[in-house]
Amino acid sequence: MYWEKETETMPGNRLEELQLARLKKSVEKASASVFYGGLFKKTNLDSNGIKSLEDIKKIPLTTKDDLREHWPYGFLAVSRDELVRMHSSSGTTGRATVIFHTIDDIKEWTNIVARSMYMTGMRKSDVFQNMMTYGLFTGGLGFHYGAEKLGALVIPAGAGNSKRQIQLMQDFGTTAIHIIPSYALHLLSVFEEMGVDPRSDTQLQIAFLGAEPHSEKTREKIEEFYGIKAYNSYGLSEMDGPGVAFECRRQNGMHIWEDNFIVEIINPDTLEPVPDGEEGELVLTTLLRDGMPILRYRTKDLTRIIPGPCECGRTHVRIERIKGRTDDMLILKGVNIFPIQIEKKLMDVPGVGTNFLIILERKGFNDHMTVRVEVQKEFFSGDLKQLENLRRRIVEELKGDILITPKVELVEPGSLPKSEGKAVRVIDNREE
Ligand code: ADP
Ligand code: ZN
C-alpha cells in the first residue's frame, strides 16, 4: 500500500524533526550560491540561526523574479561539474526560469514521483503512457523516470498526435496515462472520430491530471467518459516538477511530500502566514536539493491546507486543488474572477462541450467579458430555440457565480483554438 511506509506515515513530531535537520542543511548548502550567499550576508543569517521550524520565517521569501534576475547560474550551490540535468518552466507568465539538478537531485525527484504514482495504485504490471511534452518541460522526463523506477512499462509518447496516442493505447494495452486535463477532454472528440470507446475499447484505469488548474467537475467528466480514476498531480519546475503534491486514493486533497518540502501558506498581499485552513499563496522550501536549493519560494499558486489527518494513513499535509495563480485573477468591473470559477460552472451545464475561451475587451470606460463555449453539435441542427435556451442558462449560471453578466457565444465542437500544452483560457484585449 505504501512505497516507503515509514516516511509516508511518519508521526508529525518526527516529520518535523526531520524537516528541521534538513532545513539547516539546505540553508547551509544554499549559502554557497551567489543569490543566497549575498542574501544571508545582508540579513546576517546562517544555519545556526535556524533552531526551530519557526525560524524559517527569518529567511526572506524568494520570487520568480529573483530567479529571473539571477538567471542562469545565480542559485547554483555546487560547481557546474556536479550537474547532470537542466529543466525549465513552461514560461507561462514570462521568461522561463531554469533549474539544474545533480545526480542525487534527480534520484530524490524520481523517488517522489514513483511514490506518488504508487500511492494511487499504479504497479509494475501497469503500462504507462506519458502524454506530456518531453524536453525542458518537467512533466515528460519527471514522470518518465518515476514510472520506470516503479517498474512499469513506459511508453514515452510525448504530447500531441492524438490518433497515434489512441492507437498506442489500443496496441499496447495502456493502463495508466499522464495527461493535461484540457487535452484529455479534447481527446474525447478524437476517440469519437475514430469510433473507439475509451471505456470498452481500451484498458485504461488511471489518469494523472496535471500542469493546469481544473475543477472537480472536469475530473468527474474525465473519469466518467474514460471509465477510469483520475488523480490530481501538482508540481512546478522550481520545486523539481511533478511529484510535489499528489492525490491519494481518497481523492480528497493532495499530499505534499513534507520530507522533501516545507509548506507554508501566506497572504499574498501582507506576506503574513494565514490561519490554518485558510486560502493563500503556497510557499515551498526544498529540503533535499543540492544543485539548486530554493528557500521559501512564492509559487503564486492559491490553495489552502486541508486540516486533519487523511484516511489513507499518510501523515503528510494535504492541500486543496489549486484555484489558479495569483496572476490568473481577472479584475472586471471591480470583481475578482478566476478562470476556474467559469470552468466549474460551465462543466456543470448539460450540453456544454469540452472547451471554452474568455475574451476581455474595453469599450470606452467599460470592460466586457465574452465567454465562447463549445457545445454539443446536436444543438446546431434542428430547433435553434434549444441553442438559445442553453445560452441563456449559461449566462444565468455564470451571472450567479461571478456577479457580472458576461456575453455568451455558443460555438460548435472543435472550433476554438486547441493547445497541446497548458490551455490558454483568457485573451485579454484591454489595452494597458
Ligand atoms: P510555468 O510556471 O511557466 O507554467 P511549470 O511548467 O513549472 O511552468 O508549471 C508549474 C505551474 O503549473 C504551477 O505553478 C501551477 O500554476 C501549474 N500547475 C501544475 N500542476 C497543476 C495542478 N495539478 N493544478 C493546478 N495547477 C497546476
Ligand atoms: Zn491520503
Task: For residues 249 and 266, give the distance between their C-alpha atoms in angstroms, rounded to a whole number.
Answer: 28
Distance 249 CA to ligand 2 centre (A): 7
User: Pocket of ligand 1, candidates 212, 298, 422: which has the most ligand atoms within 8 Å of its Cβ, to mutate?
Assistant: 212
Ligand 1 nearest atom to the CA of residue 96, by list position: 3
In 303-383, where does DSSP find H-type helix? 339-347
Task: For residues 373 and 414, give the distance between their C-alpha atoms in angstroms, rounded to a whole number.
Answer: 10
CATH at residue 355: 3.30.300.30
Ligand closest to Cα of 308 equals: 2
Distance 371 CA to ligand 1 centre (A): 23
363 with 219, same domain: the answer is: no
Task: For residues 365 and 343, give the distance between their C-alpha atoms in angstroms, rounded to a whole number.
Answer: 27
Contacts of 320 (CB under 8 A, 6+ apart): 253, 254, 279, 303, 304, 305, 306
> Looking at 328, 356, 385, which one is the last position of a domain?
328
49 with 118, same domain: the answer is: yes
For 237, the grid coordinates are 519546475
> Looking at 328, 359, 381, which one is the last position of a domain?
328
DSSP string, 36-96: HHHHHHHHT--GGG--SGGGGGGSPPB-HHHHHHTTTTTT--S-GGGEEEEEE---TTSSP
For 22, the grid coordinates are 534538513
216 with 319, same domain: the answer is: yes
168 with 256, same domain: the answer is: yes
Distance 245 CA to ligand 1 centre (A): 11
> Looking at 276, 293, 328, which one is the last position of a domain?
328
Indicate the number of domains in the chain: 2
Task: For residues 152 and 141, give the distance between their C-alpha atoms in angstroms, rounded to a whole number.
Answer: 15
User: Pocket of ligand 1, candidates 63, 88, 92: which has the most ligand atoms within 8 Å of its Cβ, to mutate?
Assistant: 92
Q: What is the pLDDT along the chain (432 residues), one digit of tens a residue?
A: 999 999 999 999 999 999 999 999 999 999 999 999 999 999 999 999 999 999 999 999 999 999 999 999 999 999 999 999 999 998 888 888 999 999 999 999 999 999 999 999 999 999 999 999 999 999 999 999 999 999 999 999 999 999 999 999 999 999 999 999 999 999 999 999 999 999 999 999 999 999 999 999 999 999 999 999 999 999 999 999 999 999 999 999 999 999 999 999 999 999 999 998 999 999 999 999 999 999 999 999 999 999 999 999 999 999 999 999 999 999 998 899 999 999 999 999 999 999 999 999 998 888 999 999 999 999 999 888 999 999 999 999 999 999 999 999 999 999 999 888 899 999 999 976
Q: What angle do CA 401, 407, 408 make, to 5 degrees?
A: 85
User: Pocket of ligand 1, candidates 322, 323, 326, 327: which has the most ligand atoms within 8 Å of its Cβ, to mutate?
Assistant: 322
411 lies in which domain range?
330-428
Report the SS3 class of residue 105: helix
Distance 210 CA to ligand 1 centre (A): 8
Alpha carbon 182 to its chain centroid, in Å, reads 12
pLDDT at 431 (0 to 100): 73
In 195-305, where does DSSP find H-type helix? 216-226
pLDDT at 20 (0 to 100): 98
247 with 343, same domain: the answer is: no
Ligand closest to Cα of 252 equals: 2
pLDDT at 208 (0 to 100): 98
Distance 160 CA to ligand 1 centre (A): 19
Ligand 1 nearest atom to the CA of residue 301, by list position: 16
221 with 278, same domain: the answer is: yes
Ligand 1 nearest atom to the CA of residue 93, by list position: 3
Ligand closest to Cα of 297 equals: 1
354 with 292, same domain: the answer is: no
Ligand closest to Cα of 182 equals: 1
Query: How many CB atoms neighbour CB 183 within 10 A?
Result: 24
Distance 327 CA to ligand 1 centre (A): 12
Distance 129 CA to ligand 2 centre (A): 24
Ligand closest to Cα of 302 equals: 1
127 with 245, same domain: the answer is: yes
The environment of the single-atom ion ligand 2, i.e. residues with CB closer than 5 A, is: 248, 250, 310, 312, 314
Residues having CB within 6 Å of any atom of ligand 1: 89-92, 137, 210-213, 232-237, 299, 301, 322, 325
Ligand 1 nearest atom to the CA of residue 237, by list position: 7
User: Quick check: 156 and 203 in contact, CB under 8 A?
Assistant: no
pLDDT at 432 (0 to 100): 64
268 with 324, same domain: the answer is: yes
311 with 292, same domain: the answer is: yes
User: Quick check: 256 and 287 in contact, CB under 8 A?
Assistant: no
User: Quick check: 221 and 198 in contact, CB under 8 A?
Assistant: no
Rounded alpha-carbon distances, angstroms, from residue 242 to 100, 341, 417: 15, 24, 26
Distance 255 CA to ligand 1 centre (A): 16
Ligand 1 nearest atom to the CA of residue 325, by list position: 16
375 with 259, same domain: the answer is: no
CATH at residue 119: 3.40.50.12780
320 with 410, same domain: the answer is: no
